[in-house]
Structure 1
Amino acid sequence: MVLNKFLFLGQEALNRGDYQEALNLFKEAINHQGFKKEGWLGVAEAYYHLNDFSSALWAYHKLLEIDPQNERAQKKIEEIGELLKDVQIKHSHQEIRFKTEGDYVYIKKQKNWEKFWIKGINLGLTLPGYFPGEYPIKMKTYLKWFQLIHEMGINTIRVYALQSPGFYQALYEFNQKEPKLFLLQGIWYEPERAEVLDDLEFLNRLKTHIRDVVDAVHGNASLPERPGFPSGKYLWDISPFLLGYLFGREPEACLVKGYNERYARKDKDFYGKYLYIEKGNPFEVWNTQILDYLLNYSYETYGHLPLVSVVNWIPLDPIEHPTESNIEDEESFFIGVKPNLKKCNENEDMEVFDTYKIKSSFNCFFSSYHVYPYYPDFMNYEFLTEKRPYLAYLKRLKEHHKGQALLIAEFGIPTSRASAHWQVHGWTHGGKNEVEQGRILVEMIKDIEKANCTGYVIFSWADEWFKVNWLFMKYYLPRERKSLWFNLQDPEENYGLLEVYPGYPKKIVSLSGELKEWEEAFIAYKNFNPLNKEGEIKSIRLTNDEGFLYILVEVSTKINLKETQFFVGIDTGHKEYGEFSFPAGINLVSPVGLKFLLHITGKESSRLLVASSYNKMLSHDKFFSPKKEVFPQKSLAGKWNLILCKTNMRRVTKDFKKLFGPKFYNLSSLRFGSLKPENPDFDSLADFYIKDNLIEIRLPWELLNFSDPSSRKMFWKEKDILWKESDGIRVVVISYKPAPLNPPRALKVLDFRPNPSEKDKINTYVWEKWNVPSFHTRLKKSYFILQRYLKNEKN
C-alpha cells in the first residue's frame, strides 16, 4: 500500500464515520516521512469524533508543532477546552435492583420482582495494533457496538477488567431512555505465586483496585496514568445498570494447589457481613473474604448492594472425572518416567474450587463457570455415549449447584482455520466457518437453557488479533508484534461474532472471480503472446494484507479440474533453500527452492504441502531432526509433507483400564469457496476459488511459516537462529493433465511458468512492512443466526 493511499483511505474512513479505523490509517501515514502534517490532522479529527477529547487535544498540539499557524488546530483546541469545562458527574434516576433467589437471578425495575434470563456477550479490550492495557476502543465505537449487540437480542455485556472512562460514558448514554444493556463488571487480578495472595502489599493493591472499580461504576473516580491500567475521570454513574461484579480470572490449578497446601488443606468457616462459607478450603475462603470486602465497600460508600460472583472454570469443578488422569501418572504409564513430585503440572482434575459453598443472607451471590465443549478432555471421553455431551455435563454441574443461580459466563466456538481440540460431535476448538459457529452456539444455548442455568455469556463479540493459542504461540516471533497481524489459523483470535479483517474499507480479494480486484496486484509472470491452449498460464499475480498472501493464477482457457490440474510452488524467501523437485512424476526442476506446494485437483481434494525439512509441526519428533531444527534445507528428493497438528494427546483413565488415542487436525486440506456472503459458495474459511479461467488463493501468513509478516520475518530454526527476514516471495506454476487411472500422477505437463529455459524472468514480490495495521469490521453470519434465535426466544 503506497503512502498517499493511507491518507486517502483515512479520509474515506472519516467520511464514512469509521473513526476507529481511520486512526490506524492516519497513524501509519505518520510513520512515513513527508505526510506528518496531514497524518496528525487526521488522527486529531478521528479522536475528536470518537469523543476522546484529551487525545484529540494531544494530537492537535502535535500538529501545531509542525504547523504553528494551523487555524483548524487552534480552533479545535479552544473548542475542546470549553467542552471539558462543562463536564460534570452524570447520575441516572432509574432504580433497578437485582437479587438471586433459588436457581435464578431476579430484576426489580419498579415494584415487582421478575425472573431475569441473562443473555450476555463478552467484550474484549483491544483492536488491531494494540495489546490489552492500551485501551484503544473509544466511546463512539462502544456506542456503535452496543446498538448492534442490543439489536441481536442480548441484554448483558461482560467486561473482564476496568475499562476506560469512554466505555462507561457510552453505556450511560445508551441506557438513558430505557435500560437495554446491563453490565457484568470484571475485576482482574494476576498473582504470580500462591504465597502472594497473603502478601500485605498485594492485598492492599488488590483492595485499592476493587475500590477504584466500584468508584468508577458509580461515576466517582479520577485515576492517574499507570502502565497497563485505564486512567482519567469517571463521571458517569452506571450502577443502576450493573448486574454484578465478576471477580478474578480462571484460577490455575497449581495456584489453587499451592495456596491450599500453605494451610495444610484445612477447611475453615468464614462469616462475613454479607457472605459466609462453612468448611471451605483455604482458596475458597480467601475468595469469599475478598467478595465480602467488595460488598462492604459498595454498600457503605454508595448504599448499593450488587450481585457478586467469582470466575471459575471446569478444571476446578466439584465433580470427580474418572477419565481425567494426571500428567504424572500418564508419563509413568506410557513411557515409564518416574514422576517429579516437586514440579506442579496443570492437571485438569487436581483441585476443587466449590463456589456452591459460598452463601449470602442478602441474596447477592451466584456461581459462574466458563464451560467449553472441547476442553478439558473429560468433556469428551466421559460422555462418549451421550447424544448431547455438553448438556450431560451441564446437568451434572447444575445438580451440584441446585438451589443456587448458575451462570455459564463464557462459552464459544472460534471461526479459525485450525482446530486446537477435538470434540466428539464436531463442536471443535476451531475449524468451523461462521455459519457453523452460529448453529453450534444456538445448540449450546439450548443446552444451557435445558440445564436450568440462570443464563449465559457468549465468548466473544469481536475477533482479537493479539490473542495466542498453544498450537501457535511459540511461532510468533517477535511476540511483541503479534497485534500487528491477523492469523486465521489461531482459534483464540477468531471467537468473535464481529469479524475484524485486514484492509480498509473491505477485503482486497473476495475470492469471487473478479479480475478487477487484482488490477493493482504485483505481476509475477505475464504471457504477452498467449496461444489459448489448454492449461496455458496467462498470468500470475500476488498481493497481500495484514493477514494473508493472495495468489492469482490466470489460465488462457476455462478451467476443468478433471482435465487440467495445477501445482503452485511458493518460495517464501532465500531461493537457494528449499525443495527443487515436484511430486506426481513430474520430471522438472524448480528454478527456485520451494518451501510450499499447492496441489489444486478439485473442490474437495486440493491441499497444501510443505517441504519436509520445513514442517514445523514435526519438529518435536527425533526421527525428523535430532537437533529439532526447522528450516528449508536444499533438496532434490521431492520430499513433501502434509501439515498435521496434534490437537489431543493420548490419554488413559484413572484406573488405567481404558486408553484414548491422540487426535490430529489436517492443516493441509484446502477449502473451496468465496468470501462474498451473497455468493452461494460462501465459506468464511475458504482457501481458494475457481471461476472460469481464474484460480484465486488465500493463504494465512502463519500457514506459510511467517513468524511476523509485518517485518517480513520467517520462522527459521537453525542452530541459534529462530527467524530470518524474507527477501521476497517467488511463485512457479505447473499445469498438467492427470493420468485417468492414477489421478495423482501427471500424464502430461501442459505448462510451466515462469520457465527460465524460455527466458522467463523470476520476479520477486517484496511487500511493504507495516507498524500500524489497517482493518475493517463485518458482522459474521453467526450474528444473524443467533439474532433469529434470540428474537424468537420466550425468555
Structure 2
Amino acid sequence: MRRGRWWVLVVGAVTAAVVLIIVTRQSPPPEQPEPAAGIAGLAALPPLAAGPSWASQPVLVGGLRTVATAGPAGFALHTVTGDKRFLPGVNLGSTTPGHQPGELAITEADYRAWFAAMDRLGVRVVRNYTIHPPTFYTELAAHNRALPDRPLYLMQGVYLPDESYVTKGDLYHPNVTTTFTAELRDASAAVGGKLTRAPTPGHASGTWTTDVSDWLAGWIIGLEWDPPATAATDRANAAAAAPAGRYFRGTEAASPTERWLAARMDELATAEAGAGRSAPIAFVNWASTDPLTHSHEPLENEDMVGVDAEHVRATEAWPGGTFASYHAYPYYPDFQRHQPELQKFRYAGRADPYAGYLNQLREHHRDMPVVISEFGVPSSLGNAHHGPLGRDQGDHDEAEAMRIDAELLRMIKDLGLAGGFVFAWHDEWFKLTWNTVTHQVPADRRQLWHDPLTNEQYFGLIAADPAGNPDAVARLLVDDPAARPANRVQATLDESYLHLTVSLAQPLPARLTIGLDVLPRLSGAPPPGGADPRPDTAFALDLAGRTGQAWIRVPLDPMPLDYPVPPSARPAPVDGWQQFQQLLNREMIVPVSGRHMSLELFDVGRLRHGSWNPEDAHADSRALWRLDGTELTLRIPWAPAGFADPSSRQVLVPRGTRATTETSPEVGVLLSTGAGTDQFAGSVQWNDWQRTYHTERLKRGASAVRDALVATAAESG
C-alpha cells in the first residue's frame, strides 16, 4: 500500500464497505398523524411536590380582562393564590428535525407530549416566537384544563413576516409595516380562537377555534434588531411623527425605531381590546441593541445603536402595561469581558460580569419589569465564543450546560428581574452559527443533518438525537482473525456521525490512526487491480494515553473560509496536514483601553475518550471514542470527516474564500499503526437521504434546571 506520509500524524485508518440509505423522522401528511415518541429519561424524574396553585384568576380593569399586569410595581401574574412576581419558563421553536421553521412541522402528538414534559420539569411559562398551528392552542388549553393548578402560561411572540428591513435599511418600508401589522392582528385572533387562514408558505394555516386568553401572560413582538438596519431606520425617518395611540405612545425621547414599535404595539393592543382583553406587551431586544453604553466593546456594530423600552409607554387605557424583554447570554457581546464595572460586580461571592450586566439592565429600567426572555449555553462539541467564567458558546458537556442554565435562572431571580426563559426546549437541527455556516453547502439542506460543531443546534433541554434509518443496521465489514491491526470492523452512519466499531488484534498498538478517503480525485485514484486510496481526513488516537486529534489535508481545511488566519497563529502543518480547528474571535482592538485582542482559535478536533451514553454516571456527551479491552468504538462528526452536507454526500472543497463542494462516491477507510502495519478496510457508501429520523431524550443533568424552575416558581409569590 502506498502510504505517502499521512500516517505520520499518529497512525492508522478504519472503515469498511457498506451501503446505507438514511431516512429520517419527518412529519407525515396531516391525514396520517404521527404518534408521539416518548422522551427518554423523563420518567426517571421524581414527581413534583404539590405547591401553591398557579390557577389563572383574571381581573377586570377598565372593562378589559387581563391575566397579568406589568408596571412600576413589577410583573404580576394573577392566580388564585395571589400574584406571581417571577416567571420561570422555556422557549419553544416551531419545527422538528428534518424541517425548516417555516414548515411548522410540530404535530398534535408532539405538543401533547411536550406540554406534559414541561409540566414534569416545572415549567410555568412557554414562550413561542410566532403564530403556531391551531393544534398548539388546542393542546395547550386541553393540558391546562386537565391540570388547572399548574397550567402552562403563554408568552405569545409575533415575528416579522418580512425581514427585508435589513437590506432596505428601513423598518418604515410599506411592505415591512403592512405585513407585520397583519400578523399582529392574526396573532390576536389566533389566541382568542377566532382566526382562519389559507395555506401560505412559511405561515401556520387552518382554523383556530380555541381561546387560550385565560393563560395569556403577555406578548413579546418583533425580533433581534439588526444594528446597522436600525441605525439606518433612525437616520431615514428622523421626521416621522410620534404615534398618538390610544394604548401605546412613544415618549419625546423616542427614536424613529421606538416610535415605529410603539405604533405596532398600539395596533396589537387595539386588536386585543376589541376582544375585551389586555395583557403586558413588550418588544424583543438583545444586548446588541440595548440602550446602555458599552465603551469597551471591540465591535462597532455591537454598540452602534440602542432601542429603549423606556421610550415606549403604555397609557392608562392599557391595564396590561409593558415590560422590557432581552435575549441576554453570558458569552456575547465581548463587552462582558472588557467593561471594567462588569468585571468588578460580585454575585454569589465572586466577580461575575454576566450578573453585572443583568443588574445594569434592571437598574436602567427602574419603573418597568425586565424579563430575560432568552438565556442559556449549548451542549455542543463545537464552540463559537469564549465567555467569562467558562460560560462559553459551546464545548459544554450536557450535564455542565444544564448546571449553567440552572445557575443563570437562579441568578436572574436573585437579581430582581421578573422572569427567565431558558433557550430552548429542544435541539434544532436547522440552526446555523457564524463559524460553521460557510462550511455547510448547500444551505437549504442543513436541517437534514445534525452538526455537533454548530453550537446553535444544541441549546435544548431535550436532545433530538439522530436515529438513522431503522433498516440500516451495522454491517460487518472485516471479519478475518488473521487481519492486522483489526480483525473485525463494523460501520454504520446517522445524521451526525460515521460510526466505526473495530476489534483490534493483540497486542494492542500504542497508537492508531483512522483515515478517511472522501475524494479519490484529491488523493489519487486507486491503482489498477487494487484499492490503495490515501485519506483526506485522519483521526489520530493515542490508545495508551486516551487522547486523540482530528487532522485534515490542507486543501480541504475550512478555516480560510472564515478568516485569513496568519500561519504563525496556528500549529504548523505536518506533511500537508492541518489540525482541525474553529475560529472563535478575530484579532481586534478594544476601544478606550486600546487593549489588543489576539486571534482566538479552538481545538474542536480534540478527540475526547470516554462514554457518551447518557445513562452512564460519568458520561461526557462530547466524547468521540472509547476503548474497552480490544474493542474500539469511534464516532466521527461529518464536518471533521470533510463533509459540507452528508445527506447529499457533498465534501467541502474551499477555493480561496469561496466554498465549493464535490460529491463523494464513497468513503475509503484505512487503519495504520505507524509501525508498518496498514490496513484498507473497505469503503462506505450511501444514497442521498431526504428525510430524517430522531429520538427525544431529556439531557443528562436536566434535573438541575428542573430544580431551579421549581425553586424560582415557589419563590415568585
What are the residue-to-residue correspondences of 1:621-770 with 2, within 5 Å? 638-655=575-592, 657-718=594-655, 722-735=660-673, 749=675, 751-754=677-680, 763-770=682-689
Q: Which has the higher contact order (CA 8 A, sep 6+)?
A: 2
1:142 is displaced (CA, Å) by 0.3
Cα gap change, 1:734/1:276 in structure 2, threshold over 3 Å: closer, same or farther? same
Q: Return the alpha-carbon distance in structure 1 between the equivalents of residues 565 and 70 of structure 2.
A: 59
SS in 2 for 1:699: strand
Query: Would the alpha carbon gap of residues 450 and 578 (structure 1) be closer, same or farther in structure 2, given more than 3 Å must change?
Result: farther
Q: Is the 8 A contact 2:22 2:689 kept in 1?
A: no
Aligned to 2:556: 614
Is the Cα contact below 8 Å between 1:579 and 1:637 reproduced in 2?
Answer: no
Cα distance in 1, alignment partners of residues 226 and 393 from structure 2: 20
% identical aligned pairs? 24
Q: State the shift of 1:401 in Å.
A: 0.8
How big is the shift at 1:129?
1.6
TM-score, normalised with respect to structure 1 = 0.76
For the 8 Å contact 1:546–1:773, the answer to whether it is kept is yes
Question: 1:568 corresponds to which residue?
Answer: 514
CA distance in 2, matches of 1:623, 1:372: 27
User: What is the aligned partner in structure 2 of residue 209 from structure 1?
Assistant: 183
CA 1:376/1:219 → structure 2, altered by over 3 Å: closer, same or farther?
same
Separation (CA, whole Å) in 2 of partners of 1:574 and 1:618: 22
Q: RMSD over aligned Cα, in angstroms?
A: 3.0
SS at 2:337 equivalent: helix
Counterparts of 2:392 and 2:583, CA distance in 1: 13
Alignment match, 1:527: 480
- Structure 1 residue 135, shift from structure 2 partner: 1.4
Q: CA deviation at 1:283?
A: 0.8
The equivalent residue for 1:272 is: 245
Compare the two structures and name the one with the higher helix fraction.
Answer: 1
Structure 2: give runs of 5+ residues left out of the alignment.
1-17, 38-55, 60-65, 346-350, 568-572
Q: Identify the range of structure 1 (144-153 vs 197-206) with the bigger mean alpha-carbon deviation.
A: 197-206
Task: Give SS of 1:767's match.
Answer: strand
User: 1: distance between equivalents of 2:387 and 2:559?
Assistant: 21
Q: Which amino acid aligns with 1:366?
A: F
Contact 1:524 1:730 in 2 (8 A): no
Q: Look up the equivalent residue of 2:132 and give its one-letter code.
A: Q
Cα separation, 1, equivalents of 2:449 and 2:470:
16
Query: Using the alignment, how far apart are the partners of 2:564 and 2:171 within structure 1?
Result: 42
Contact 1:269 1:276 (8 Å CA) reproduced:
yes
* Alignment partners' CA distance in 2, 1:458 and 1:610: 36
Q: Partner of 1:425: helix, strand, or coil?
A: helix
CA distance, structure 1, for counterparts of residue 108 and residue 58 of structure 2: 22
Distance 1:373-1:542 versus aligned 2 partners, 3 A rule:
same
Amino acid at match of 2:98: G
Partners of 2:299 and 2:565 lie apart in 1 by 28
The offset of 1:363, in angstroms, is: 4.7
**1:777 corresponds to which of 673, 696, 709:** 696
- Offset at residue 393 of structure 1 (A): 0.8
In the other structure, the counterpart of 2:215 is 241
Distance 2:278 2:386 in 1: 42
Q: Secondary structure at the match of 2:171?
A: helix
How far is the alpha carbon of 1:569 from its aligned partner? 1.5
Letter in 1 for 2:440: Y
* Cα gap change, 1:247 to 1:792, in 2 (>3 Å): closer
Q: Which SS does the other structure have where 1:764 is aligned?
A: strand
Partner in structure 2 of residue 454 of structure 1: 418
What is the Cα deviation at residue 677 of structure 1?
Answer: 1.9
Distance 1:548 1:751 in 2: 26
- For the 8 Å contact 2:298–2:334, the answer to whether it is kept is no
Change in 2 beyond 3 A, CA 1:48/1:721: closer
Contact 1:579 1:594 in 2 (8 A): no
Task: Give yes or no for the alignment of 1:429 onto 2:348.
Answer: no
For the residue of structure 1 that corresponds to 2:359, the secondary structure is helix
Instruction: Give the partner amino acid of 1:174.
Output: H
Q: How does 1:210-609 map to 2 (within 5 A)?
A: 210-264=184-238, 270-278=243-251, 279-300=253-274, 302-327=275-300, 347-360=301-314, 361=316, 362-382=319-339, 383-384=342-343, 387-503=351-467, 520-529=473-482, 536-557=485-506, 559=508, 564-574=510-520, 577=523, 591-602=532-543, 605-609=547-551
Deviation at 1:206, TM superposition (A): 2.3
Structure 1 residue 692: Cα displacement: 0.7
1:138 partnered with 2:107: yes
**Which is greater in Rg?**
1
The corresponding residue for 2:15 is none
Cα deviation, 1:675-716, whole Å, max 9, x if unaligned, reads: 222224411111111101011111111222211111111112
The answer to whether structure 1 residue 159 and structure 2 residue 105 are counterparts is no
Q: Which residue of 2 aligns with 1:59?
A: none
Give, in whole Å, the separation in 2 of the partners of 1:307 and 1:766: 55
Match of 1:440, SS state, is helix
Q: Which secondary structure state, in structure 1, belongs to the residue aligned with residue 90 of structure 2?
A: strand
> Which 5+ residue runs of structure 1 have no aligned equivalent?
7-20, 28-42, 52-91, 328-346, 509-519, 581-589, 626-635, 737-748, 755-761
Go from structure 1 to structure 2 and tell me whether the alpha carbon gap of 1:405 and 1:267 turns closer, same or farther (over 3 Å shift): farther
The TM-score, its normalising length taken from structure 2, stands at 0.84
CA contact (8 A) 1:611 1:640 kept: yes
Kept in 1: contact 2:610–2:620 (CA 8 A): yes
Structure 1 residue 638, shift from structure 2 partner: 2.8
